[in-house]
Amino acid sequence: MSSAKQSLLQPIFSNNPIALQILGICSALAITTNMNTTLVMCIALTAVTGCSNFFVSLVRSYVPNNIRIIVQMTIIASLVIVADQILQAFAYPISKQLSVFVGLIVTNCIVMGRAEAFAMQNPPGISFLDGIGNGLGYSVVLIFVGAIRELFGAGSLFGVTILPLVTNGGWYQGNGMLLLPPSAFFLIGLFIWLLRSWKTEQVEAREFTILPQAQQET
């Protein structure tokens, strides 16, 4: 496929930032308790990564090497502030639920990682697509985690009750562990396992093999 299509689609399953590059896991724990916050976070991160890749790529031939990390940081931080302001203006209740985590997109390794690894070496158009692609890969994992956590933890999806909870007079005993952050870790591990069962080329080769135990002289 064309390199543009490759940049966009590869990071979804073949080179997933969370599942293969193991980046950006932190925010996956905190905001995946319900689908509304998950979706908004996915959109915010995808937009920020795409735009930051685009702008970093625009200035890549002018950035002095010794300040390039700070330059990337400045661009990313400015975009995150803009995203936060937009959320506060047009989706205030969700922005209150997301509270500090929109700001923490700045610390998300995916954004900085792609800026340094891709945008600094490639033209703006394809950098933008790479950013969007990685955002989509991140979104796939988060939606997987968020859907399971909300459905089996709180019995709802997007706030709509699907499995009526015992606490609300229904029959479903909600899985309390799914509402706690560590469950997101377990689910991400599960996702990585499922992904590598499907795409076996992602399974890393063993770095060493254990030799059979030598015979002991008594």
- To another protein, the closest distance from the beta carbon of 34 in angstroms equals 13
> In the stretch 110-149, what mask flags binding to another protein with x, by CB under 8 A?
----------------------------------------
Identify residues 32-61 at the interface with another protein (CB under 8 A).
Answer: 59, 61
Residue 70 or 203 having the CB closest to another protein: 70
Total binding residues toward another protein, as defined by CB under 8 A = 25
Identify residues 194-213 at the interface with another protein (CB under 8 A).
Answer: none
Find how far residue 109's CA is from the centre of its chain: 9
Residues 1, 2, 66, 218: which binds another protein (CB under 8 A)?
A: 66
Mark 9-36 as b/e (b = at least 16 C-beta within 10 Å). Answer: bbbbbebbbbbbbebbbebbbbbbbbbb
> In the stretch 70-99, what mask flags binding to another protein with x, by CB under 8 A?
-x--xx-xx--xx--xx-xxx-xx--x--x
**Site membership for another protein, residue 160 (CB under 8 A):** no
- To another protein, the closest distance from the beta carbon of 66 in angstroms equals 7
Residues contributing to the site for another protein (CB under 8 A): 59, 61-67, 71, 74-75, 77-78, 81-82, 85-86, 88-90, 92-93, 96, 99-100
